[in-house]
Amino acid sequence: METTAKTIPNVRNEAQQELAQAFASETKIGLARVEALIDGVLATLPERKAGAGRKAHDDTVELREKLVAMKDVEFTSASAAEKFGVKAMKINNALTWCKNNGVNLVAVGTEEKVEGKRGKPATIWMIKS
C-alpha cells in the first residue's frame, strides 16, 4: 500500500470561473483581463503535491491493511482500537486515510446515547466491499 506523489495542477474549477465572471461584470473589467490576472497569480503558486509527506511507518501501514480487511463489519473507533491493541487516535487517523484514499468507508450510524455519559455517541463505521 505505498502511495506515490501525484502532482495536482493549479487550475480553476467551475465555481472559481463563475466568481471571475461575476467579479468582471460587477467591476466593469473585461473577463479576459480578470482571467489573465488569475492565470498570473496561479502561475506564481508552487505545484501542489498529493501524498508527498513522510512515508508511513510500517506499523501504520499494517494497521491500515487490517482495517481495510474488515469489510462489511460494523465497528467503532474504540472497538477497533481494542481489537488491534492500539489507541483510538491511531484508528481515527487510519479512518481518515481510508476516506482520503478511495476506501469505501461509510458511517452507518451512531451508538445510542448513554445517560450520564458525557460527549456525543461514537460513530459506527463499515467498510463496504
- Extents of the domains making up the chain: 6-50, 58-127
Nearest to 108 by CA among 94, 128, 89: 128
Q: How far apart are the first and last CA of the chain?
A: 17
The pTM of the whole model exceeds 0.85: no
User: At the topology level of CATH, where does 58-127 sit?
Assistant: Arc Repressor Mutant, subunit A (1.10.10)
**pLDDT digit of tens for each residue in the chain (129 aa)?**
444 444 445 556 787 788 888 888 899 888 888 888 888 887 888 776 666 678 889 999 999 999 999 999 999 999 999 999 999 999 999 999 988 888 899 999 999 988 888 888 999 999 988
